[in-house]
């Protein structure tokens, strides 16, 4: 077992979520930054779908009652195993009885802890993910919770990801978030897309796992009223009547009625998930080919880490 001694801020169990059930009204959920969870899993020899722990800004204090191999990825933070610092992006051994304390993130917003064998909770509709909107899955972690560790295979201690792999999820003013035109771009003026892809937007304190609310140039509509309710995907950029966009994240509802001006490409969605309140984001148009190339590049980076972590 892993025992939660201090829960941190909005700490949850997450895996790849519940894809393929939207037609039943079930959101996908899963890790807000899927790349970082998959990276942490790769470092300890887990399958992509293994459940790990997602932290938000301030991490937990955990006592391990089982020896295992663990890894941290995502937003870098101070982390101590007993009194010894541990490095993000490198797998490390944990002895039974040791405590891991994950502090405040120094950049980004969400960190991920993977342990060899994964966090073994009872799945709900095929996933161990906490969905903060629908309430599916386990509740956010609280002091005293005990998490079972799954059957462990051979995990290599010291497997490492390069700084370029770790840093690819961290947003910066110099790194635009790439978008494709949305299904409702005809609801907006040409100036609206120029405003989206030419202006700067600040992440609101009212953002969460459902969506990142942005303050910046208003996105001007040319059609009155609201769009018919339609299916939504992660990364969809909705524009409410006030024109302030919302980027849908992991726990978004399966449908929505605000028009969608653009959709963040999947490879760049971690940049939005890792943007903390007050941070500025910029957007840029991308082609479908560029979006597919970005996915291939991310998969290649993960494949290199998996190869380094395997025996």
- For residue 92, the enclosing domain spans 2-168
Total of domains in the chain: 2
Co-location of 123 and 217 in the same domain: no
Average pLDDT over residues 291-306: 96
Co-location of 242 and 130 in the same domain: no
Co-location of 203 and 60 in the same domain: no
Q: Is residue 300 part of a domain?
A: no
225: CATH: 2.40.100.10
**Whole-number Å distance between alpha carbons of 22 and 14:** 18
- Classify 292 as helix, strand or coil: helix
Count CB-CB contacts under 10 A for residue 198: 12
Q: Is residue 119 part of a domain?
A: yes
- Considering the chain, what percentage of its residues have pLDDT values greater than 90? 86
Q: Is residue 67 part of a domain?
A: yes
Co-location of 136 and 193 in the same domain: no
Rg (CA), the chain: 19
Co-location of 162 and 228 in the same domain: no
8 A C-beta contact, residue 308 and residue 160:
yes
8 A C-beta contact, residue 176 and residue 286:
no
Q: What is the pLDDT of residue 10?
A: 94
Q: What's the pLDDT tens digit per position in 170-202?
A: 998 889 999 999 999 889 998 999 999 998 999
Co-location of 222 and 149 in the same domain: no
Q: What's the pLDDT tens digit per position in 122-177?
A: 999 999 999 999 999 999 999 999 999 998 777 889 899 999 999 999 998 889 99
Q: What's the pLDDT tens digit per position in 15-69?
A: 999 999 999 999 999 999 999 999 999 999 999 999 999 999 999 999 999 999 9
Co-location of 115 and 237 in the same domain: no
Residues 6+ apart with CB under 8 A from 148: 1, 119, 120, 121
Residues 6+ apart with CB under 8 A from 85: 78, 79
8 A C-beta contact, residue 54 and residue 14:
yes
**Whole-number Å distance between alpha carbons of 33 and 75:** 10
Co-location of 86 and 209 in the same domain: no
Q: Is residue 309 part of a domain?
A: no
Q: What is the pLDDT of residue 225?
A: 78
Distances (CA, A) of 212 to 68, 170, 215, 235: 35, 15, 10, 10
State the chain's mean pLDDT as an integer.
94
Q: What is the pLDDT of residue 308?
A: 83
Please give the helix or strand (H or E) that residue 73 lies within, else none: strand 68-74
Q: Is residue 242 part of a domain?
A: yes
Positive or negative, the CA dihedral 116, 119, 120, 124 is negative
Of 107, 142, 168, the position where a domain reaches its end is 168
Residues 6+ apart with CB under 8 A from 12: 53, 54, 129, 130, 132, 138, 140, 141
Q: Is residue 305 part of a domain?
A: no
Co-location of 104 and 32 in the same domain: yes
Q: Is residue 301 part of a domain?
A: no
Confidence of residue 93 (pLDDT cuts 50, 70, 90): very high
Co-location of 21 and 154 in the same domain: yes
Confidence of residue 107 (pLDDT cuts 50, 70, 90): very high
8 A C-beta contact, residue 81 and residue 64:
no
Residue 84 has pLDDT above 90, yes or no: yes
Q: Is residue 306 part of a domain?
A: no
Distances (CA, A) of 128 to 17, 18, 112, 147: 7, 9, 15, 12
Q: What's the pLDDT tens digit per position in 211-233?
A: 999 999 989 888 887 788 999 99
Confidence of residue 310 (pLDDT cuts 50, 70, 90): confident
Of 144, 168, 192, the position where a domain reaches its end is 168
Confidence of residue 311 (pLDDT cuts 50, 70, 90): low
Q: What's the pLDDT tens digit per position in 235-280?
A: 999 998 887 899 999 999 999 989 999 999 999 999 999 999 999 9
Co-location of 211 and 269 in the same domain: yes
Q: What is the pLDDT of residue 228?
A: 86
8 A C-beta contact, residue 178 and residue 213:
no
Tokens 């992006």 label which residue?
A: 89
Co-location of 153 and 187 in the same domain: no
């Amino acid at each position: 077992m892993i025992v939660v001694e201090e829960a941190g801020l909005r700490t949850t169990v997450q895996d790849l979520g519940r894809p393929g059930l939207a037609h039943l009204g079930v959101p996908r959920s899963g890790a807000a930054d899927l790349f970082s969870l998959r990276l942490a899993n790769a470092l300890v020899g887990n399958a992509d779908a293994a459940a790990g722990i997602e932290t938000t800004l301030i991490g937990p204090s955990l006592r391990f009652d089982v020896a295992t191999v663990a890894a941290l990825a995502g937003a870098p933070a101070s982390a101590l195993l007993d009194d010894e610092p541990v490095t993000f992006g490198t797998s490390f051994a944990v002895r039974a009885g040791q405590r891991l304390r994950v502090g405040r993130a120094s950049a980004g917003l969400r960190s991920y802890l993977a342990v060899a064998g994964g966090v073994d909770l009872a799945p709900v509709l095929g996933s161990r993910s906490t969905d903060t909107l629908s309430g599916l899955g386990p509740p956010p972690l609280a002091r005293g919770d005990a998490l079972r560790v799954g059957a462990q295979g051979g995990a290599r201690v010291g497997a490492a990801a390069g700084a370029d792999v770790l840093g690819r999820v961290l947003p910066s003013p110099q790194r635009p978030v790439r978008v494709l035109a949305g299904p409702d771009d005809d609801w907006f003026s040409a100036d609206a897309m120029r405003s989206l892809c030419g202006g700067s937007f600040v992440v609101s304190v009212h953002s969460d796992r459902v969506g990142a609310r942005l303050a910046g140039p208003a996105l001007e509509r040319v059609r009155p009223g609201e769009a018919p309710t339609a299916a939504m995907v992660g990364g969809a950029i909705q524009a409410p009547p006030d024109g302030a966009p919302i980027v849908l994240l992991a726990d978004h509802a399966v449908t929505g009625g605000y028009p969608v001006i653009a959709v963040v490409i999947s490879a760049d969605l971690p940049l939005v998930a890792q943007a903390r309140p007050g941070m500025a984001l910029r957007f840029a148009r991308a082609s479908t080919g560029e979006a597919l190339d970005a996915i291939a590049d991310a998969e290649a980076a993960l494949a290199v880490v998996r190869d380094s972590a395997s025996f």
